[in-house]
A and B are shown apart, each in its own frame.
Chain A
Amino acid sequence: MKIENTFIFSIRALSGYPARTLLVLLAMSMGVASVMLLTSLGEGARRYVNREFTSLGTHILFVLPGRSETTGGPPPLLGQTPRDLTLDDALSLAKNPSIGKVAPIVVGSAPVSWNEKDREVTILGTTAEMFEIRQLAMGQGRFLPVQDPSRGSGVAVIGYKIKKEIFQNRSALGEWIRIQDRRFQVIGVLAKKGQSLGLDMSDLVIIPVASAQSLFNTSSLFRIMLEAKNRNDVKAAKEAVLRTIKERHDGEDDITVITQDAILSTFDRILTALTLTVAGIAAISLAVAGILIMNVMLISVSQRKSEIGLLKAIGATGSQVLWAFLTEAAILSMTGAILGIFIAYSGVIVIIRLFPDFPVHIPLWSIAASVFTAQLTGILFGVLPARRAAGLDPVMALSRR
């Protein structure tokens, strides 16, 4: 029997039992669609994180006090600092040719008040360099002025949310706020910009680093954020930081340098693993669909016993019968897979409508993998019924009992 005839015959057989065929198609297409949709969400998360990081520039480095064994891993816990990072450490780094801008960071929490209003707020002490490194944008006014970092001054830049809460619709520029017991004049309001790397930039007050140090009565830094001159300098910059600080710290390797790339690739690895896991779990539904195909086809074989017996009586060979049933399984799983692709893409369109910011994307490999798995399970689970059909004894099959 020629291929096209096997094909036509199988289609006739399938359309002869519409309810059963639809059931299997439904199971198969849902399986394929869930694999594709879940991977598209995972892939979307990966792209989202990627975009967030690269929006900061990819040549950023963080210097943390304390030595961490897992470089590239998450930052080590606070409080186990063998030797503090100081403002002078930070300033010494800027002299290196592979290093561009350097921003020291002090972080703490303090009550902020204005006109009887009082709130505990995250205080970020840094320098003018932070503006460019972190690619901030101003809503009103200006950022911290360029000045000697070791000298404090009574100016503050406030986040968008703080401005809304404390000043409501009034202008904040030029107003004096009180942080703990000191007075600071508001010189700028950050533009409305959401989360940035987990730190809510709209819910903090930025003051000069020396002011923050005296406010919190410390001479150390929380960390140093710096940028390499350009992408290719990241490695050199990292080495320069390690070398410079080691010199300054009496030969002790007591800092950790994390590059943006390392964080990015860690996230990337985690999210890719997550996507694959989720896809794998969804693939179980494909196996379920395969088992359903097997059952439906076993029923089909026993219902069509006399038909199979007849085909053999009029000269169909065992292998012709085998192929006819395998073709049936293949058509079922292929059609199911194609339907599944349609469902998945419709789902993605809906997600894009609902969350326009979230970069959902169906990776090509997931289409290929789910269609392949669908075919494989369909045919694999089709083999048993097909073999049963092929091995049917025509005399038994034709006799009515």
Chain B
Amino acid sequence: MMRMLQLLNGPHDLGRGRGFWSGMVLLAAAFLAYPTIASSFSATNVAYYLLNIPMALGLSLLWGYGGVLSFGQVAFYGIAGYTYGIVAGNLQDFAWGTEAGVLAALLAAGLSAAAFGYFLFYGRVAAWIVPILTLVLALLLATFLGLTAGYQWRVGDIQLGGYNGMTGIPALQIGGLTFQDYAFFYLVVAIVAICYVALRIWVNAHRGQVLMAIREDVLRTELLGYDVRLEQLRVFVIASVLAGVSGLLYVQWGNYITPSAMGLQQAALPVIWVAVGGRDSLLAVAIATFLLNQLTYILSSGGNQSALVIVGALLVAVMMFAPEGIIAGLGRLHWLHWLRARRRAVPSGPASSGK
């Protein structure tokens, strides 16, 4: 237990010590208290801004900590969403139908990532090939699902629905509790918190160090006796299951999914959240994901067509002028001052992950 807390407090993310964690607890409490002052509509909206965080954290782990970039995490988001829709939809009459759907969805995301990742990582391809081929995978999945209009495209009772997508996806039910409205909000908050804590422990534990070692120098790591291919495949599967978690939450939120969830524009978004936040800080990525989801929602709900131009420009600007990310950059500034004041020692600067 102590060891877990130590790892949680470890150096490979922003923030440590009593003050920081008190703040985090307060933040969690604020989220938990939010439904008491908010309508179920606003609570569901906030849940929507939060539900992409697991996918973003997965990409942060993969890209920021592991140095492996993927442009196609939405493929696994979509695979999970569609699988849940099919399985839970068909098993609606059973008490455990939606739980089975969750299980099947996560399995589908994990297994498809393992199969696809095998070819990517065991060939030891150049770094640019992984993002390119994952993107192609997402696009082809979107194209394929777009072709599935019509009655002949159904699995059991559920129609895939072509470009209009799959509708009427049942909400998760455990015992007598259906996760809708406030219950859905709490579900999302709990899952996001669990994902963050677990990943922060992971990156500070041995496996996380190996991941960063691979990011810095693949060959050096292999010559310490690590099977780099396996390590990369492992983290790719984890990241993809996390994308699956977000996909699951998304279909809970809207009870539908369309192929555009895997389209080119959707595929760009996780990369933007992670880059703008600061890819080698889980916390910064989580914050950026929350804020940017809110921003795009507000921008596009006004019927404003320029949302994509704005986030695209944001991405280019960040990559050019603040490659370590805006939130992480601000955070490190703050912690630098704090540490200097306390110990008058220079702590490690932003880990340059380069490449």
Say whether A associates with B.
no
A residues adjacent to B (C-beta < 8 A) = none
Q: Which residues of B contact A (CB under 8 A)?
A: none
